[in-house]
Structure formats: C-alpha cells, structure tokens
Chain A
Amino acid sequence: SQTIHQWPATLVQPVGSPLSLECTVEGTSNPNLYWYRQAAGRGLQLLFYSVGIGQISSEVPQNLSASRPQDRQFILSSKKLLLSDSGFYLCAWSLWSGRADTQYFGPGTRLTVL
C-alpha cells in the first residue's frame, strides 16, 4: 500500500532563516506531487505541483521554491522565511488516472515563523 511521509511535524523558525520541508511517497511510481499551505483563516492553497522529476509548476508567487530530486521525493524550501510563511504545510500525491483521481495527503508540518 502507498504511504506518504512528511517531516518535521512541527517547526519554529526565526524570520530570515532558511527552510527545508521534505515529503516522500512509498509504494507507487511516478506520482503527481503537490505542496499546499493553510494559513490561519484560509483554505488549503496550492503552492506547487509536479508531474515528474525536475518538473515543477508554481501556483502563486512567493519566496518559497520546490524541487523534486527523485521520483518520490518533493522538497519545499525557502532561503529567508517571512512572518507570513507561518502555516500548516501539506504534501499530497495522486496517480495519473485521468479524471476523478483523488489526492492523498500527508500528516502535515506546522510552521511558526517568529
């Protein structure tokens, strides 16, 4: 069966510090991968998605970046965190199954920027 891992579960970082959040998927090949963020009082906002190694699409301009160095690994990074980067970050995967594919979410990382 497929599983998705995210770490760390919680993170407190000072403004201006770098960020690296990692997501890995097991039990499947060539998944679509996604990074979402939920800020306070907001819905889940799609940040990045990837349909293959090295293929990253960005949905919103921000000081975050994403990389996919391996088929089942998706990394969210920042060189300098802002206060507004605080939120709950979720990684998700789906299969290329045409319409009606569903996305499976990891447990999330709660990031607090002070």
Chain B
Amino acid sequence: DQQVKQNSPSLSVQEGRISILNCDYTNSMFDYFLWYKKYPAEGPTFLISISSIKDKNEDGRFTVFLNKSAKHLSLHIVPSQPGDSAVYFCAASTISNFGNEKLTFGTGTRLTIIP
C-alpha cells in the first residue's frame, strides 16, 4: 500500500522554464512533508519541507505547495537549471512512539533539464 505516490516517473523541462513535480498522499496522519533530491550513486539530500499548517513554503528557486483537502503537494523549481537534473523524492512524516520522525517516501520522479 503506497501511502505516498509520485505518479510521474520522469519529467523533462527546458532550461529556464518551470519544473513542477507532484505528489499525492493518502494518510491523514501525515503532518509534515519534505522533498529530497538524489543524484546517481549518492544518498538523497534534503531540499525543502512544509508543515501541514501552511500551504506554501519558498526557498530561493524552490517552492513547495500543500493542498491538504486534496492531499496533494507539489514542488516548483523556477528557473530550472541543468544542475537540477536528478531524482526527486516526496516524503511524508509521522512521529514514532519514541518521538522521532518516521518518513514515508514516494517512488521518485526523474527530472531532466534540457539545455
């Protein structure tokens, strides 16, 4: 049962244009959402996050939007640059019995920026 879904396995965008990556979730207990970026042969690195009490968080070229009623979030990258080519994972967080965060990841979207 995939609680976090990224339905687009790949996306190609022209350099300078906007990249929009989408993510849907099913579990209403998720209250924090994160995006991770992964280059080949490396572990994922944290990119940006958003609390469920917000609907938008912006950090430079990266903006994450959250629509709680639709259980949908998206990552906007503008303008897109060649270095943005990577696999992007959406993740949703719950708190364990020990108080630490547990992340549930989507399957990832491979973003390719075309020069």
Measured CB to CB, the residues of A under 8 A from B are: 4, 9, 32, 36, 41-46, 49, 51, 55, 57, 59, 90, 92, 94, 96, 99-108
Contacts and interface: CB of A to CB of B under 8 A. Distances in A.
Contacts, number: 71
B96 A105 contact: no
B87 to A, nearest CB: 10
A105 B41 CA distance: 12
Nearest to A92: B43
Given A104-B43, A108-B41, 19 more contacts: A36-B105, A43-B2, A43-B4, A43-B89, A43-B104, A43-B105, A44-B44, A44-B103, A49-B100, A55-B98, A57-B96, A90-B44, A92-B43, A94-B101, A96-B100, A99-B32, A102-B46, A104-B45, A107-B41
A101 B105 CA distance: 16
A90 B108 CA distance: 15
Contacts of B108: 43
22 contacts: A9-B41, A41-B107, A42-B107, A43-B2, A43-B4, A43-B89, A43-B106, A43-B107, A44-B44, A44-B103, A46-B102, A46-B103, A46-B104, A49-B100, A49-B102, A99-B32, A102-B34, A102-B49, A104-B45, A105-B43, A107-B41, A108-B43
Given A49-B96, A100-B49, A107 B89 contact: no
B8 to A, nearest CB: 14
Contacts of A51: 98-100
A95 B51 CA distance: 18
B59 interface: no
